[in-house]
Amino acid sequence: MRHDVVEELLDDYVDGILSEDVGAQVRSHLESCMKCFRSAAQHRALMAAAAALPRELAPSRDLWPEIRAVILRRRISPIDEMKVLPAAPRVPGAPAPGAETLRAAPAAALPQRPWRRLLGLAAAAVLLVATSSALTTVLVQSRYEEVARPLVPGRDAVRGLAAECRLVTVEWSRGKGSAGGYLSPDAVRVIDKNLALIDAAIAEAEDAWQGHPNDPKLTWYVTTAYEEKAQLLHRAARLGVGI
């Protein structure tokens, strides 16, 4: 094998990704060419040094407090931007609590085909019904308390969310019937029905909250319900116009 050809193949040779036949030809050349032999040895020395570098290097400071603060400040939830309350009574046919439930309608994994996007949305809607039903079973020990406790909003914030819900409801109402939309009439009916159930749950929670406006957990439940409704409506409105 020619010297210039071997030079080109040297990286692949030391990486061990040449075919047996070609590798043997390179090896044969190395036995007679000191320059290539030395070059291969130097490559290997560099590779060994690189492979020996530590895989872990600790940051100079603990980054967790800042990461946690950002997560709490942005109110990010890993559950497809929706916080599912624990101990929610199961709706017949709804997925059981656990991993499968949490995987419903992952935002980044929503497939592009409309019917599959619709399935994700329908799953989210069912999930929301289960979630909203939990509004009647307050004062439970919540595994989301760490997220929720520092974020209990005031009355103004709740009223703001309610106003936002009204706005996105209008957006949804306009988008769902648009020509070329991704949602079939049946899907729109299902979502509307679920939204009505959520509204009923919100109304019930609002009543309880009006009686105990200083109860932080009731405040949080009302807020969360409004937020989730707003998020579902935003998504439904986008899907409704095929975005």
Partner 1 sequence: MNNSLDGPMFLDRSEKSASPVLVDDVRRAQGGDLVAFERLYRDNAGRIHALCLRMTGNRASAEELTQEVFIRAWERLSTFMGRSSFASWVYRIGVNVSLDAIRADRRDEARLGMDSLEPGGGGTWDQAGASDCRLDLERAISRLPPGARVVFILHDVEGYSHEDIAEMTGVASGTSKAQLHRARMLLRKGLSI
Rounded to a whole number of angstroms, the minimum distance from the CB of residue 15 to partner 1 is: 8
- List binders of partner 1 among 181-220 (CB under 8 A): none
Q: Does 68 bind partner 1 (CB under 8 A)?
A: yes
Q: Which residues contact 126 (CB under 8 A, 6 or more apart)?
A: 91, 93, 94, 95, 104, 194
Q: Does 16 bind partner 1 (CB under 8 A)?
A: no
Span interacting with partner 1, options 97-105, 132-140, 163-171, 174-182, rule CB under 8 A: 97-105
Nearer to partner 1, 2 or 61 (CB): 61
Q: Does 100 bind partner 1 (CB under 8 A)?
A: no
- C-beta of residue 128 within 8 angstroms of C-beta of residue 200: no
Look at residues 169, 208, 213 and name the one whose alpha carbon lies nearest to residue 191. 169
- C-beta of residue 142 within 8 angstroms of C-beta of residue 86: yes
And the tokens for 171? Answer: 């957006």
CB atoms within 10 A of CB 127: 25
DSSP, res 111: -
Rounded to a whole number of angstroms, the minimum distance from the CB of residue 147 to partner 1 is: 6
Which of 16, 92, 93, 98 binds partner 1 (CB under 8 A)? It is 98
Which of 3, 5, 35, 45 binds partner 1 (CB under 8 A)? It is 45
How many residues make contact with partner 1 (CB under 8 A)? Answer: 46
Nearer to partner 1, 7 or 215 (CB): 7
Q: Does 152 bind partner 1 (CB under 8 A)?
A: no
114-133 and 216-240 helices cross at what angle (nearest 10)? 160
Q: Which residues contact 147 (CB under 8 A, 6 or more apart)?
A: 71, 72, 75, 77, 83
What b-and-e string marks burial along 205-215, b requiring 16 or more CB atoms within 10 Å of the CB?
Answer: bbeebeeeeeb
Q: Which residues contact 168 (CB under 8 A, 6 or more apart)?
A: 230, 233, 234, 237
Nearer to partner 1, 137 or 210 (CB): 137
Rounded to a whole number of angstroms, the minimum distance from the CB of residue 70 to partner 1 is: 5
Rounded to a whole number of angstroms, the minimum distance from the CB of residue 14 to partner 1 is: 9
Q: Which residues here bind partner 1, judged by CB under 8 A?
A: 11-12, 42-43, 45-47, 49-61, 63-64, 66-68, 70-71, 76-80, 83-84, 98-99, 102-103, 106-109, 143-144, 146-147
